[in-house]
Amino acid sequence: MPIDPARPALPRVMSGMRVSGGGRLHLGHYFGVLKQWLVYAETAEAFFEVADLHGYTTEFADPSEIRSGRDEMVIDWLAAGIDPKKATFFLQSAVPEIAELQLLLSMIVPVSWLERVPTYKGQIEALGAEIATYGFLGYPLMQLCDIAIVKGAFVPVGRDQSAHLEFAREVVRRFNHLYGNGTTILVEPKPTFAQVPEVPGTDGRKMSKSYDNAIYLSDDEATTAAKVKKMLTDPLKVRRNDPGRPEVCPVFSLWTLIADADRTGVVASGCRSGELGCVADKADFAEALNAYLRPIRERRALYAADPGAVDAILAEGTARTREIAAQTMRDVKRAMKLL
Ligand code: TRP
């Protein structure tokens, strides 16, 4: 579909993922974000960004995994079924207009707005004071520039991103107020959240690479089965015939993501009555999960074997994004009296 940068025909959707730790995506990404992206790729004019520069905010000392991770991530997007003919994939660092926009917007962003974004202090507590750089402080501003450069109106993200979007909206309002002369130059981006509850990892905490509790789209079937076998279940269901509580069991939470109500109903009642033991349930679940992921993994293998095609998809999308970015920069510079 040819894109008219001035007048998008469909609502414009923008989202991105930070590249870190090798870029491999897990079930939390798939159910929390990628399934939303799939829908938007079909129904909106969607831009999906490989946020490699955001990776540098925490991994600046050793960026090697960012470089290898960006292809891995795109391969996972493609494996999830997002059609690169319907959505535009682009590489953040190859769109220098984003960095230029960030410099211009930095003039109007009070430092206190950035300091009070909760992820700033939270991440310093989690990762240490050495990540408290100027670049890291600017993380939410860079994120806004990713969105604003394509004038994204809707941003499908996880709930952990709501403070970043709130910040983004405030900056856009300030920009339009200062330079818009009564018109809207930058679009206030609205977050859209997946309707699924948080995806638990194998230990019952939120699935996350850093907790080492993730099942990856790129795991093979044996690895997946081994991870499922070790999963925590209801701690009060000790023996096979003890009645269990599916509502506290992470295996059951994952069941509800991949199976229909009939199947989950059978699992839940078997668990509650004590007829179904955790060992048997996990064996059934591993099989069902591998079957669910099989088409994704088959697509993954095809793209992984063709790195040239993956590079071409990213290069083509990046070129398309830069055309729109150039238009946005003209609008911004005119408003700021640089042109
Ligand atoms: N900060 C987002 C995250 O950690 C990733 C991201 C970077 C992003 N740029 C974006 C998300 C633009 C939405 C829009 O998940």
Whole-angstrom distance, CA of residue 76 vs CA of residue 25 = 7
Ligand 1 atom nearest 14 alpha carbon: 14
Task: Quote the pLDDT of residue 5.
Answer: 55
Concatenated DSSP letters of 30-48: IIIIIHHHHHHHHHSEEEE
d(CA 169, ligand 1 centre) in Å: 14
d(CA 278, ligand 1 centre) in Å: 37
* pLDDT tens profile 60-101: 999 999 999 999 999 999 999 999 999 999 999 999 999 999
Task: Quote the pLDDT of residue 4.
Answer: 54
Instruction: Indicate the top mutation candidate among 12, 13, 15, 102 to test ligand 1's pocket, ranked by most ligand atoms within 8 A of CB.
Output: 15
User: In this structure, are residues 75 and 300 in contact, taking their beta carbons and an 8 Å threshold?
Assistant: yes
Whole-angstrom distance, CA of residue 326 vs CA of residue 243 = 62
Task: Quote the pLDDT of residue 8.
Answer: 53
Ligand 1 atom nearest 152 alpha carbon: 14
Task: Quote the pLDDT of residue 240.
Answer: 85
Residue minimizing CA distance to atom 14 of ligand 1: 15
Residue numbers of the chain with a pLDDT score lower than 50? 1-2
Distances (CA, A) of 208 to 66, 140, 190, 295, 299: 17, 21, 25, 23, 23
Whole-angstrom distance, CA of residue 281 vs CA of residue 294 = 20
Where in the chain are all domains bearing CATH 3.40.50.620?
12-199+307-335
d(CA 307, ligand 1 centre) in Å: 24
Task: Quote the pLDDT of residue 7.
Answer: 52
Rg (CA), the chain: 22
* pLDDT tens profile 299-312: 999 999 999 999 99
d(CA 129, ligand 1 centre) in Å: 22
The pairing of beta strand 12-18 with beta strand 190-193: unpaired
Where in the chain are all domains bearing CATH 1.10.240.10?
219-299
Provide the 10 A C-beta neighbour count for residue 249: 24
What is the pTM assigned to this prediction? 0.93
d(CA 331, ligand 1 centre) in Å: 24
Task: Quote the pLDDT of residue 51.
Answer: 98
Task: Quote the pLDDT of residue 2.
Answer: 46
Ligand 1 atom nearest 146 alpha carbon: 12
Task: Quote the pLDDT of residue 6.
Answer: 52
Whole-angstrom distance, CA of residue 175 vs CA of residue 31 = 34
Tokens of 109: 């962003």
Contacts 24+ apart (CB under 8 A), 63-66: 65/20, 65/21, 65/22, 65/23, 66/19, 66/20, 66/23
Whole-angstrom distance, CA of residue 202 vs CA of residue 208 = 10
Residue 3's SS3 state is coil
Ligand 1 atom nearest 139 alpha carbon: 1
Distances (CA, A) of 202 to 243, 251, 291: 21, 8, 18
- Domain 12-199+307-335, second-level architecture: 3-Layer(aba) Sandwich (3.40)
Task: Quote the pLDDT of residue 261.
Answer: 97
- Apex 154 CA angle, 152 and 159, nearest 5: 125
Question: Measured over all CA atoms, what is the biggest interatomic distance in the chain, rounded to whole angstroms?
Answer: 75
Calculate the dihedral angle through the C-alpha atoms of 100, 102, 104, 107, rounding to the nearest 10 degrees: -150
Answer CATH for 219-299 from 1.10.3720.10, 3.30.230.70, 3.40.50.10320, 1.10.240.10: 1.10.240.10
Whole-angstrom distance, CA of residue 118 vs CA of residue 242 = 42
d(CA 4, ligand 1 centre) in Å: 25
User: In this structure, are residues 170 and 157 in contact, taking their beta carbons and an 8 Å threshold?
Assistant: no
Task: Quote the pLDDT of residue 196.
Answer: 83
d(CA 252, ligand 1 centre) in Å: 29
The set of protein residues with a Cβ atom below 6 angstroms from ligand 1 is 14-18, 49, 51, 54, 143, 146-147, 155, 157, 161, 164
